[in-house]
């Protein structure tokens, strides 16, 4: 059963954590957290990725992400288009489960890419928001923890351990902290197949977007080289008509510039 | 007592509770923690403009089969302005343009001269979308097909489209080529698409340019529209295979094509590309074209025992890519071009060249076969191996190191290139490439006059 924690009557929130655990499974918490990050109907968002190296701002990438939830799989399909920097303008990435294509308008060719190649580009950060974790991962509750969020505020969180449950899961394991009172994602740690910690993400700057308070900034720390930090700012959220036919290789050159 | 017990319980609870995870937060830079104002989001511009300078030098050698007229180009500098853009002219009409204008300095002509200026009009066409995801297009269009990197059997419009390049990497060759004037329709629906393209014959076949492409401001539609051509293609979903079927017709010859690809695990993509049809082999077509366009005398005898008639010719590219966690991507492909020269053809090519060293007609015809293959962008050799490695963020962020080898499987001669590209900033990119034609003197690559090459490239994106 999927439900949003905020719909739970107030008295339930006052009950002990033990009884709350009994009533909301780990999977439900993740599903509720997914809904905080993602609208349920097709939408478009502008993602601005600012890279910091050694604490100094360096490159900036601006992406337009078109997202649509697949009715059958409950997973998001994404079309990611590079807006900036100028050298990458117009390049596109189609992310639909294991069907992933990269299109370069310079060569006018679409190249099929693997999940590992997807992780190489900034597009993998761009679509970190539009992933339904509850669908691709099996969650277990590791406990309750007080986590310091990106604004150095203490947050009472569920600590969930997510294990990849489908082939579409990009990461092998995720440590995920969700605020108990709001189901807002606070922090995530993302691991490779070999168990190597790849990324640490903090979610913050919650603002009302498309009907729900959503994290509009995600701080992504490269755990392999912590000197590299990327912030992902989401703006210009819009519900948009995004037909199913958009999510195929042949459509990539056709997406209109707007 | 009760207060003390309460305090003790609170202390125990504090001790028992997991510590707040502050250590990871310390990794967040101060500028981010303080909520540094993000730069305003960029709005997407319709056009992409860049400036490029590419300095190329070659070391030359005397080929074992001499080239009539020789080869003297060993240095060239090209400064180019490049524009790519698409503009909406109405609710359902778009204009697409792609052009590169260059100033060229070369060791064998003075600067400035009539050969200095060159324009490559790559694309210019209108797209009309009368209904959602139905498109009608007219103009010069660069229509590409194929999933492989080293050789694309189904890229039927690649012939005679090559323009001057900085990198010899086949994937870079696609970026700078001339489109074909055509009419095209496409329809895209859920899970599939179909398209039909017709390119009319606008010019009679013209002679091929040997050596480096000459400068000039002509649109050079004679290169791309020297024959009437028709291409129908359909893509659809079939499991994870993403098949594409193609039917191509040119000059009374129909060829079929197929593209397939699928992922295997998280790191591997398998792909295959095939095309087949009945037409003469490379040697026969090359010599016939040379005679037809007047480059070779009408009476020149066949220098090699070429097959005279049509045969069913298969083209195949089978390969895979593998990407590791360290951002290293490897590609390996087996390339088969049945119409290309066999081991025996190459042996005869060198034997004929050696036996007719004093005959300009004979050696000219021999080299013409290879120039024709390059102009058509088809392999001169029947069997090759293509290996490529690209390492992103190598050693430092924004540095890409790459290398490829195109290996003739008969004589093991190879074209190799090592490259480095560094994104100096959001607008500047620097590149350097070292290339070599390696192999014995009597081998495909070892017999070329260009032994080594070096290219320095600087790009600025507006």
Residues of chain A contacting B461 with CB distance shorter than 8 Å: 85-87
Which residues on chain A are in Cβ contact (under 8 Å) with B169? none
**Mean pLDDT confidence for A101-107:** 91
User: Of A78, A240, A243, A109, which is closest to residue B133 (Cα–Cα)?
Assistant: A243
3-state SS assignment for residue B356: coil
Neighbours of A11 (CB within 10 A): 7
pLDDT above 70: residue B302: no
Residues of chain A contacting residue B144, judged by C-beta atoms under 8 Å apart: 107-109
User: Tell me, what's the pLDDT at B115?
Assistant: 82
The separation between CA B290 and the C-alpha centre of its own chain, rounded to angstroms, equals 25
Whether residue B447 is predicted with pLDDT greater than 90 in this model: the reply is yes
Q: Do A86 and B36 touch (CB under 8 A)?
A: no
Please give the span between the terminal C-alpha atoms of chain B, in angstroms, as a whole number: 75
Give the pLDDT confidence score for residue B56 in this predicted structure: 95
Q: In Å, what is the CA distance from A179 to each residue of B17, B27, B28, B194?
A: 16, 21, 20, 49
Q: In percent, how much of chain A has pLDDT > 90?
A: 57
Q: Range with the lowest mean pLDDT among A187-191, A251-255, B44-48, B224-228? A: B44-48
Block residue for tokens 């937060």: B25
Query: Which of A122-131, A166-175, B6-15, B310-319 ranks highest by mean pLDDT?
Result: B310-319
Residue of B nearest to A60 (CA): B426
User: Is residue A30 scored above 70 in pLDDT?
Assistant: yes
Q: Taking the mean position of all CA atoms in its chain, how far away is CA B40?
A: 35
Q: Give B350 or B240, the one with higher predicted confidence.
A: B350
> How many Cβ atoms sit within 10 Å of the Cβ of residue A193?
14
pLDDT digits (tens, 9 = 90+) for B376-427: 999 999 999 999 999 998 998 889 999 999 999 999 999 999 999 999 988 9
Q: Where are the beta strands (DSSP E) in B291-393?
A: 311-323, 328-337, 383-391
| CA dist., res. B261 & res. B269, Å (int) | 7
- Residue A29 to residue A49: CA distance in whole angstroms: 28
What is residue B213's predicted lDDT score, i.e. its pLDDT? 57
- E strands along B237-382, which residues? 244-250, 253-264, 268-279, 311-323, 328-337
Structure tokens at B101: 């204008």
Higher pLDDT: A26 or B33? It is A26
Q: If you search the block for the tokens 């995720």, which residue do you land on?
A: A174
Q: Which of A176-185, B211-220, B237-246 is most confident?
A: A176-185
**Band of pLDDT at residue B253, cut at 50, 70 and 90:** very high
Query: Would you say the C-alpha torsion B285, B370, B203, B248 has a positive or negative sign?
Result: positive
The residue that leads in pLDDT, B37 or B290, is B290
The residue of B26, B44, B234 whose CB has the most chain A CBs within 10 angstroms, and thus the best one to mutate to test that interface, is B44
Interface contact B94-A105, CB threshold 8 A = no
Delineate the domains of chain B, giving CATH numbers in brackets.
Answer: 47-126+152-180+206-215+265-272+282-461 (2.40.160)
Question: What per-residue confidence (pLDDT) applies to B15?
Answer: 37
Which residues 75-94 on chain B approach chain A with CB closer than 8 angstroms?
84, 86, 88, 94
B83-108 as b/e, with b when 16 or more CB fall inside 10 Å?
ebbbeeeeeeebebbbebebbbbbee
A-chain residue closest to B23, CA distance: A148
Task: Give DSSP secondary structure letters for B181-242.
Answer: EEEEEEEEETTEEEEEEEE---S---PPPPSSPPPB----HHHHSSS-EEEEEEEE--TT--
What is the complex's ipTM, to 2 decimals?
0.88
- Condensed to tens digits (0 to 9), the pLDDT of residues B149-199 reads 999 999 999 998 887 766 777 777 777 789 999 999 999 999 999 999 999
**Phi/psi of residue A132, each to 5°?**
-85, 100
Task: Count the helices and strands in chain B (H runs, E runs).
Answer: 7, 18
* pLDDT value of position B82: 95
CA–CA separation, B249 and B92 (whole Å): 30
Q: Mean pLDDT for chain B?
A: 89
Q: At CA A25, angle to CA A19 and CA A28, rounded to 5?
A: 125
Q: How many CB atoms lie within 10 A of CB A21?
A: 16
Distance CA A64, CA B401 (A): 28
For chain B, how big is the Rg over CA atoms in Å?
27
pLDDT tens-place string over residues A37-75: 888 899 999 999 898 988 998 888 899 999 998 888 888
Three-class SS state of B273: strand
Q: Say yes or no for a CB contact (<8 Å) between A187 and B268.
A: no
Is B434's pLDDT higher than 60?
Answer: yes
Q: Do A85 and B174 touch (CB under 8 A)?
A: no
pLDDT digits (tens, 9 = 90+) for B75-93: 999 999 999 999 999 989 9
Say what the pLDDT of residue A6 is. 34
**Dihedral Cα B438, B441, B447, B448, nearest 10 deg:** 50
Q: What is the CATH number of domain A5-254?
A: 2.50.20.10
β-pairing verdict for A173-179 and A154-164: antiparallel
Residues 6 or more apart from A258 whose CB is under 8 A from it? B44
Is residue B13 within 8 angstroms of chain A, CB to CB?
A: no
pLDDT number for residue B166:
67
Please list every residue in chain A whose beta carbon sits closer than 8 Å to the beta carbon of residue B88: 256-257
Residue with tokens 């909301």: A24
Question: Does A111 sit within 8 Å of B39, measured CB to CB?
Answer: no
Q: Which of B86, B174, B271 sits opposite A112 (nearest CB)?
A: B271
- Residue pointed to by tokens 């697949």: A70
Q: Is the pLDDT of residue B278 over 60?
A: yes
Q: How far is CA B446 from CA B59, B67, B407, in A?
A: 13, 14, 12
Question: Residue B252 contacts by C-beta under 8 Å, 6 or more apart in sequence?
Answer: none
pLDDT score for A125: 62
| Burial of B197 (C-beta count, 10 Å sphere; 0-12/13-18/19+) | buried
A57, B31: Cβ pair inside 8 Å?
yes
Do the Cβ atoms of B193 and A251 come within 8 Å?
yes
The Cα–Cα gap between B426 and B370 comes to: 41
Do the beta carbons of residue B359 and residue B120 sit within 8 Å?
A: no
Q: Is the predicted pLDDT of residue B122 greater than 70, yes or no? A: yes
The residue ranking higher by pLDDT, B349 or A70, is: B349
B276-302: average pLDDT: 88
Res. B7: pLDDT tops 50: no
Nearest to B188 among A106, A250, A257 (CB): A250
DSSP A54-110: TTEEEEEEEEEEEEEE-TTT--EEEEEEEEESGGGTT-EEEEETTEEEEEETTTTEE
pLDDT on residue B5: 42
Q: Measured between alpha carbons, how far is B200 from A119 in angstroms, rounded to an integer?
A: 44
Q: How much of chain B exceeds pLDDT 90, in percent? A: 69
Q: What is the mean pLDDT of residues B422-435?
A: 94
**Structural contact between residues B171 and B152, judged by C-beta atoms closer than 8 angstroms:** no
Q: Which residues on chain B are in Cβ contact (under 8 Å) with A115?
A: 263, 266-267
């Amino acid at each position: 059963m999927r439900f949003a924690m905020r719909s739970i009557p107030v008295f339930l929130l006052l009950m002990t954590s033990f009884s709350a655990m009994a009533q909301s499974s780990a999977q439900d918490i993740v599903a509720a957290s997914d809904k905080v990050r993602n609208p349920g109907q097709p939408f478009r968002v502008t993602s601005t990725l600012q890279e910091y190296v050694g604490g100094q701002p360096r490159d900036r990438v601006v992406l337009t992400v078109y997202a649509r939830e697949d009715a059958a799989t409950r997973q998001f399909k994404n079309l990611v288009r590079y807006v900036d920097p100028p050298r990458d303008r117009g390049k596109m990435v189609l992310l639909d489960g294991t069907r992933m294509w990269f299109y370069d308008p310079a060569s006018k060719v679409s190249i099929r890419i693997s999940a590992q190649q997807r992780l190489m580009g900034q597009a993998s950060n761009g679509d970190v928001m539009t992933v339904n974790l509850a669908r691709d991962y099996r969650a277990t509750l590791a406990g309750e923890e007080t986590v310091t969020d990106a604004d150095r505020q203490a947050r009472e969180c569920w600590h969930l351990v997510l294990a990849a449950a489908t082939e579409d899961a990009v990461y092998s394991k995720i440590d995920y902290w969700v605020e108990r009172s709001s189901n807002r994602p606070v922090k995530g740690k993302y691991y490779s197949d070999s168990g190597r910690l790849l990324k640490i993400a903090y979610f913050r700057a919650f603002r009302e977007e498309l009907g729900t308070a959503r994290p509009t900034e995600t701080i992504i720390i490269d755990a392999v080289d912590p000197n590299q930090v990327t912030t992902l700012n989401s703006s210009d959220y819009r519900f948009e008509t995004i037909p199913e036919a958009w999510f195929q290789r042949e459509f990539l050159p056709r997406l209109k510039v707007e | 007592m009760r207060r003390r017990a309460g305090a003790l319980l609170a202390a125990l609870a504090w001790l028992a509770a997991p510590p707040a995870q502050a250590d990871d937060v310390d990794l967040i830079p101060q500028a981010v923690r303080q909520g540094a104002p993000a730069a305003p989001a960029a709005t997407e511009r319709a056009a992409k403009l860049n400036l490029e300078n590419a300095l190329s030098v070659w070391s030359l050698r005397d080929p074992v089969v001499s080239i009539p007229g020789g080869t003297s180009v060993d240095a060239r500098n090209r400064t180019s302005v490049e524009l790519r853009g698409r503009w909406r002219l109405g609710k359902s009409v778009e204009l697409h343009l792609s052009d590169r204008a260059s100033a060229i300095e070369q060791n064998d002509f003075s600067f400035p001269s009539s050969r200095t200026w060159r324009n490559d009009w790559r694309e210019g066409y209108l797209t009309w979308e009368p209904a959602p995801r139905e498109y009608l297009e007219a103009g010069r269009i660069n229509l590409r097909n194929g999933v492989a990197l080293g050789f694309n059997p189904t890229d039927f419009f690649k012939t005679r489209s090559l323009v001057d390049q900085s990198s010899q990497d086949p994937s870079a060759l696609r970026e700078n080529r001339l489109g074909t004037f055509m009419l095209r329709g496409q329809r895209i629906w859920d899970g599939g698409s179909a398209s039909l393209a017709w390119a009319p014959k606008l010019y009679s076949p013209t002679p091929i340019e040997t050596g480096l492409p000459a400068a000039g401001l002509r649109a050079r539609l004679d290169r791309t529209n020297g024959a009437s051509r028709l291409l129908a293609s359909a893509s659809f979903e079939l499991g994870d295979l993403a098949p594409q079927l193609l039917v191509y017709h040119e000059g009374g010859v129909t060829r079929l094509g197929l593209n397939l690809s699928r992922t295997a695990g998280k790191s591997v993509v398998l792909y295959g590309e095939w095309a087949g049809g009945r037409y003469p082999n490379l040697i026969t077509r090359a010599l016939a074209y040379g005679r037809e366009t007047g480059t070779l005398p009408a009476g020149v005898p066949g220098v090699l025992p070429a097959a005279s008639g049509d045969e069913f010719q298969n083209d195949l590219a089978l390969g895979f890519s593998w990407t590791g966690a360290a951002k290293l991507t490897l590609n390996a492909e087996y390339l088969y071009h049945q119409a290309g020269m066999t081991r025996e053809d190459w042996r005869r090519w060198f034997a004929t060249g050696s036996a007719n060293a004093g005959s300009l007609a004979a050696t000219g015809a021999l080299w013409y076969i290879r120039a024709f293959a390059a102009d058509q962008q088809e392999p001169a050799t029947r069997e090759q191996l293509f290996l490529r490695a690209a390492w992103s963020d190598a050693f430092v962020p924004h540095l890409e190191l790459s290398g490829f080898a195109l290996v003739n499987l008969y004589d093991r001669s190879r074209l190799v290139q090592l490259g480095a590209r560094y994104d100096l900033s959001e607008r500047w990119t620097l590149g350097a490439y070292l290339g070599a034609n390696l192999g014995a003197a009597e081998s495909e690559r070892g017999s070329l006059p260009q032994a080594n090459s070096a290219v320095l490239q600087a790009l600025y994106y507006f």
